[in-house]
A and B are shown apart, each in its own frame.
Chain A
Amino acid sequence: MINFERVSKRFEHHDALRDVSLEIAAGEMVFFTGHSGAGKSTMLRLLMLLDRPTSGRLVVDGNDVATIRGRRIARYRQDFGIVFQDHQLLFDRSIFDNVALPLEIAGFHPRDIGRRVRAALDKVGLLGRESANPIVLSGGEQQRVGIARAVVARPKILVADEPTGNLDPGLSAEIMALFEAFHRVGVTVIVASHDLALISRLRHRIITLKEGRLIGGVGP
């Protein structure tokens, strides 16, 4: 599904990734871990085409991403669901409209949008709050709205960058349980997290990065 082939990324003053080779199978759930600056975020940024490799090849779903440019970038990103550390919700609209955004972009019928948004909110335990503004929610609830938005269009790949960074251990475990639930129905899930205590309790591959190098891929 996702193949990093000897990928390096050099920024002006440092090497963010050095010669990383990694294969993630379809339907797999993996964790990227390491200290901040180790290259976790860079891996995700390359995957989302927010940055391009300096050298090496990144192949996603059989396509070399170097060939994906211009208008095709937006289409490519629609295959992903993204969860951000700071959830990136829009506070000028309701929870419903936040979650509906990917469906509007993908062009779903309004009737389907309503059904799917409610289904997604149901999955994250926020059904019945759809007309509220996300600003009234707690941090954990906001993150769950972010997750609902990431999965509402049923993406092939779910990517989360430090999704529990701002949450207490109890809420973090709940969020991880949600990701596992999506993994169980066949979604490829990639989570970057430095919360080693939390992720090592879950039985999934953990990919550790240090100073831009892969130093270990522990199997489940």
Chain B
Amino acid sequence: MKPPVPSAGVGPRPALLRWIDHHRRAASHSAQRLLAEPVQSLFTCFAVGIALALPAALWALLQNAEIIAGNIQTTARFTLLMEQDVDIEGARLTAETFEIRDDIERIEVIDRRDALVRFAEDIGLFELVDNLDSNPLPHSLQLHPDASLTPADLDDLAQVLTAVEGIEQVVFDTQWQTRLQAAITAFQRLTGGVGVLMVLGAVLILGNTIRLGIEARREEITVIKLIGGGDGFARRPLLYAGLWSGAVGGFFGAILVALLFWSLAAPVDRLFDLYSVDSRFTGLGWSGALALTAVGGLAGLLSAWSTAFIHLRRIQPR
């Protein structure tokens, strides 16, 4: 054994460099630890992935429902039946008064004769129509409201139109749209609630894993504290373990959602076609998958932080 050599080399570095270095080490050490126990780590990540996949799938379904609802809304139109004694000139004048309104995008006047021809074409009974003594149909206006109007706005507009002189009847059913909107709102709340619960579930799953990790590393944490490592130094690898497990879990969740939507795509696209919805069934997409990974990572960080906060102070050197 040789005697100690005199001091040589550089001392501790400035706080910022030290801090960065601690983080770099903690990040890679915790990743190595997770890889050293692949089965256990995969288990945790899958549990987190499943917990996050459910609200993510609901959210993506919601996006599709909103696309459909928006699509239907833009096709909404009012039919204004004029009173029988209003002639075609009167109908045109009424139409002109509507053109200055912001909430009306387009308006067309339909002559009663054209309407009868269209009616005859629709039912295929030209003879019957030809034999009519007089045209029972009034002149009418087809009114396309601005696409940005909500069901409530449409209701208000219908009220306004009904009060206009010369208009016999406003044909527009806003009720089903209101119902659709209410259903979507309910679905939004459900997604939000399930989302909060499931993220909480993921936090608890990870928290438990990290608590077990702390127990397994009790000796190491004790030694670290004895030789001058602070709570921060002992906590950092745990935070990274939480971050990695959560982020990988979130990514697994995104894959699960992608698989689910891939199996749903064909039948739902057919449904879209049947309802003449000009859109494709869309999943989370890359940005959604990235967001889910980030949510997982944040959940992991949160759970690691809170677990470490509670359990690390309990470990004190004896």
The reply to whether A124 and B18 form a contact with Cβ atoms under 8 Å apart is no
Could you say which of A107, A116, A182 contacts B17, with CB atoms under 8 Å apart?
A107
Which of B170-178, B219-227, B264-272, B296-304 makes up part of the contact surface? B219-227
A180 to chain B, nearest CB (A): 9
A102 at the interface (CB under 8 A from B): yes
State whether A102 and B227 are in contact (beta carbons under 8 Å apart), knowing that A184-B3, A185-B4 are contacts in the complex: yes
Q: Which of A73, A101, A124 contacts B227 (CB 8 A)?
A: A101
A72→B298 CA distance, assembly (Å)? 30
Q: Are B227 and A105 neighbours in the complex by a CB distance under 8 Å?
A: yes
14 sample A-B contacts, Cβ–Cβ < 8 Å, listed by A number: A50-B317, A71-B230, A74-B233, A78-B228, A80-B227, A101-B227, A104-B25, A105-B228, A105-B233, A107-B12, A107-B19, A115-B8, A181-B4, A185-B3
Contacts of A116 in B (CB 8 A): 9
Write the residues of chain B forming the contact surface with A, with a CB cutoff of 8 angstroms.
Answer: 1-13, 15, 17-19, 21-22, 25, 219-220, 222-231, 233, 316-318
**Inter-subunit contact B2/A48 (CB<8 Å):** no
Count chain A CB atoms within 10 A of each CB in B4, B10, B12 and give the residue with the most: B4
Interchain CA distance A184-B6 in the complex, whole Å:
11
Contact A74 B225 (CB under 8 A): yes
B150 to chain A, nearest CB (A): 55
* B4, A151: Cβ atoms closer than 8 Å: yes
Number of contacting residues on A, CB 8 A?
43
CB contacts under 8 Å to B, within A95-126, are: 101-102, 104-110, 112, 115-116, 119, 122-125
CA distance A110 to B9 in the complex (A): 12
Find A107's partner among B2, B4, B21, B222 (CB 8 Å cutoff): B21
For the complex, give the distance between the alpha carbons of A149 and B8 in Å. 17
Asked if A16 CB lies within 8 Å of chain B CBs, one says no
| Distance (whole angstroms) from the CB of A55 to the closest CB of chain B | 22
A178 touches B (CB below 8 Å): yes
Q: A105-B233, A178-B1 are in contact. List 17 more A-B contacts (CB 8 A).
A: A74-B233, A77-B226, A77-B228, A88-B226, A90-B220, A90-B223, A92-B220, A102-B228, A105-B224, A106-B12, A107-B22, A108-B12, A124-B1, A151-B4, A154-B7, A177-B1, A184-B3
**B12→A88 contact, CB < 8 A:** no
